[in-house]
Structure formats: structure tokens, C-alpha cells
Amino acid sequence: MLPAQRTEHALLWRITSPDLPASSYLYGTVHSRDGRVFHANDSLWQVAARMPRLIGELDNDEARGGAMGMMKNMTMPDGRKLKDLYDDPKDLARVEAVLKEELGPAGMMADRLKPFWLMAMLIEEQMPKDSSAVLDDMLQQRARRAGHTVAGLETLQEQLDAVEAIPLKDQAGMLLDLVKHDLYSKDLEKLVKAYASQDLGRVLRMMERTGSTDLVDEQLIVQRNIRMATRMDSLMQQGPPSLFAVGAGHLPGDRGLLKLLQERGYSVLPVAPSRR
């Protein structure tokens, strides 16, 4: 087993098995364009350069091809609006005020969108735009330019279905919590700092602060972890060696990818930065 402190202070992990001739790697990403997230562990770029295959949560180019169909999943069904999800008019007013202030004209049209996607829009709006691409995209772009294979552990529809399984009322509660505590801006800086210091445990704890429920964790983290670990296992057994790059929140914990891979017989060891 991995010592807890090592698990919580590494983003890059080497995956080995006596059955495999070469190591694969797992890196915990963050969907951000903040310049600091690109330099959390410089060993990532050395590993990425030599791995013949990069596997993300999604093949982002393929996912963008299906983006037009996303609006159906993002829009509330049966003509429902945001006001239908809040019993207290004060809660609705608070949410609407923040959406209008932070999203501008887009916020005025937000009453038909599911709360989960409004949360994503608020967070995206607050992120620094130091890079033209988020970390996940940059990894895939570089891999393609190098002639490496790029693929995804999940499909876009599978990710959309995971969100769809969260009741709208639960999503509305998460959005209200985000707004009440200013988590979309105040905690974003703390999250980036935790990530840049490779503190996986702190990253996970901060993600859990956004009004998350057991059902939300089950749908967005646990079930997806099980699916991704199963597919990682199959891909590694088939070869070639790969760099897997998925959201950092999927790595730690009793039902995180590190533990699930260990349970399948793999050894997972942290890879330190080449520069300290």
C-alpha cells in the first residue's frame, strides 16, 4: 500500500506490473488555463514526449465534434426554468444576481440551463486565461503533433449521462452553495495553489466543498473511476504503454484510481519533478 502522505503529494504516477514489459503513467490534470498548472511537475512533459499513446478522459477533438448535441443535455426538460428549482425566492434572487453579474448577457439567458452547467460557466469565467488551451487540451495537442495516438477513456455521452443522473434539485443546491460561499472565485485560487503544490488530498477536499452529496460523488467520481480503471487495465494489457491524463480528483481516496489500480495488481509509484 502507498503511504498516505505520498499519495497526497504527487500528480504523476508510474504504473507497473510483472505482466507488462513497460511502464505506463497516470497524471492528475486540472481543467484550467492558469499558467501555474502547466508547471506543477515538469517530469510530465518528459514522460509525455516518450509515451506513444496519450489517453485522456475524452478524446477532446472527438468530443468537440459532438458538441452541437450537448445543448439538449444542458437544457432543462419540459420547459422548466431555474425558478422552478428553488423554494425560497431569496435563494433564486441570489443565484440570478450572481449569474447576471458574472456572465453578463449569457447570464440573462441562463434560466433554461441545468444548474450543473451554470456552475461550470461561473468557474470558467473566473479562471485566468494564461494559455489558449486547458492543460488536458495542450497534452493532446502536443501528442498529436508528435504523431502519438490520442484516445479517451470515456465518451462524451457517458460523461453527459453521469451529470444527467444527478437530480435537478441537487444540482440547484450545489449552485446555491457555490454562490453563497463565493466558491467559484474565492476557492478557485486556493484550488490552483493546492494543485501547483501537488497536494492531491487538499484538491479532493476542496472539490467536495461545493455542496456535493453522496449521490453526486457516486455519479461523477466513483462510478466513473470504476469504469476508467477497468478500461485502463484493458488498454495496458493490450499495449502500447500509455500516459493517462484525467482530472486530479479521480486519483486519491479509497475509491480513487490509484487504489483501484492497486486492487487490480498494479504497482503505482509517485514520480518526482526533475527540478525542485
Average of per-residue pLDDT across 69-82: 87
pTM confidence score: 0.91
Query: pLDDT tens digits for 102-151?
Result: 888 877 778 899 999 999 998 888 887 888 789 999 999 999 999 999 99
Torsion sign over Cα 71, 76, 78, 82: negative
Residue 15 · residue 24 · CB < 8 Å: yes
Residue 47 · residue 243 · CB < 8 Å: yes
What are the domain boundaries of the chain? 4-270
Query: pLDDT tens digits for 224-255?
Result: 999 999 999 999 999 899 999 999 999 998 99
Residue 83 · residue 111 · CB < 8 Å: yes
Closest to 76 in 3D by CA, of 114, 35, 131: 114
Neighbours of 81 (CB within 10 A): 12
Average of per-residue pLDDT across 251-276: 92
